[in-house]
Amino acid sequence: MAALHFHFDIDGEDFSSAGDASVVMKKKLRQLGFPSDAIRRCSIAMYEGEINMVIHANGGTADVDVYPDKIVIVLEDHGPGIPNVELAMQEGYSTSTEQIRNMGFGAGMGLPNMKRYTESLEIETKVGVGTKLTMVVGV
Amino acid sequence: MILREIADLLRARILSSEDMLETEVQNAFCCDMMSDVLAFATNQSVLITGLLNPQVVRTAMMLDMHCIVFINGKEPTPEIVSLADANDIVIMVTDDSMFRAAGTLFGTGLLNADEV
């Protein structure tokens, strides 16, 4: 069955609006009648990714393909890339600034949370070029 | 426990979604780090926090939470209040500290967020 496709441009300039795309996507999934547990897992994973793109990469794009049995989220940015993915996946490891921590993020839980709430998380990253995350949420 | 009882116990002022005060909640989570809330809180909780920015409301929305309690008399901006209002989330402000607010609610039977 063909997927429903949703595209979002993530503004990297404005931290206070970060998360808007995840909010819109959550409402779409609710309208489509997905189970609340799947919606929550999808929303949290996408939200963490969106916040990461704003904090680290000056924004990017989010593309979500919705199938009856899974939701595929692709987040792509042209930020600095992740030099050490293994380290970035450890809970508590963070390269965020004090300023970001004062806003309630940068605790080193972003990527671990994305992994926690999805069936699969694939990270393609190159230092100085950017990062592409592909997450699959089962329904 | 319903949200109106929580407001009474914490002598809190209600700033948004007053029509949702009869909503029943069973658990709560205290934290200023939103990533920790996303990692460890469960759905339909009350979020008790001292952090003041719109991401607090969006974090609560992601988890289907019904209520945010701002502690130490911290006053949220109109932007925060209107975002909560538009999404049926009750905002309360209490003069209590996080420790006192959490202790009061725990003592009356509200559970930790991982216990429901």
**In a domain? residue B80:** yes
**What's the domain count of chain B?**
1
| Minimum distance, in Å, between the CA of residue B38 and any CA atom of chain A | 7
Q: How many domains does chain A have?
A: 1
What ipTM was estimated for this complex? 0.87
CA torsion, ordered A91, A92, A96, A97, to nearest 10 deg: 170
- CA dist A32 and A133 (Å) reads 24
Which range among A65-79, A88-102, A121-135, B21-35 shows the weakest confidence by mean pLDDT?
Answer: A88-102
Contact across the interface for A110 and B79, Cβ inside 8 Å: no
User: How far apart (Å, rounded) are the C-alpha atoms in residues A79 and A53?
Assistant: 8
Residue of B nearest to A15 (CA): B55
CATH of the domain at B53: 3.40.1390.20
User: Would you call A106 and B35 a contact, using CB atoms and an 8 Å cutoff?
Assistant: yes
Q: Is B114 an interface residue toward A (CB < 8 Å)? A: no
Domain range spanning residue A83? 4-138
At residue B114 the predicted structure's pLDDT band, cuts being 50, 70 and 90, is low
Count of H-run helices and E-run strands, chain A:
5, 5
B49 within some domain? yes
Strands (E), A69-139: 70-77, 120-126, 130-138
B90 or B112, greater pLDDT: B90
Tell me the residue range of the domain where B61 lies: 3-111
Is the pLDDT confidence value at B44 over 70? Answer: no
Give the minimum alpha-carbon distance from A100 to chain B in angstroms, rounded to a whole number: 10
CA gap B78, B57 in Å, rounded = 12
Share of chain A above pLDDT 90, in %: 81
Task: Name the 3-class secondary structure at B29.
Answer: strand
**Residue A51 touches partner B, C-beta closer than 8 Å:** yes
* Residue B116 within any structural domain of the chain: no
Instruction: Give residue B109's pLDDT.
Output: 85
Q: Tell me whether residue B82 is in a domain.
A: yes
Q: Which domain CATH number covers A116?
A: 3.30.565.10
Determine whether the interchain pair B55/A36 forms a contact, defined as Cβ–Cβ distance below 8 Å. no
| pLDDT of A1 strictly over 70 | no
Within 8 A of A15 by CB-CB distance, chain B residues are: 53, 55
pLDDT per residue over A18-56, tens digit each? 999 999 999 999 999 999 999 999 999 999 999 999 999
**pLDDT tens string B75-93:** 999 999 999 999 999 999 9
> Is beta strand B45-49 parallel, antiparallel or unpaired with respect to B27-30?
parallel
Question: What single-letter amino acid sits at A47?
Answer: Y
- Does B50 score more than 70 pLDDT? yes
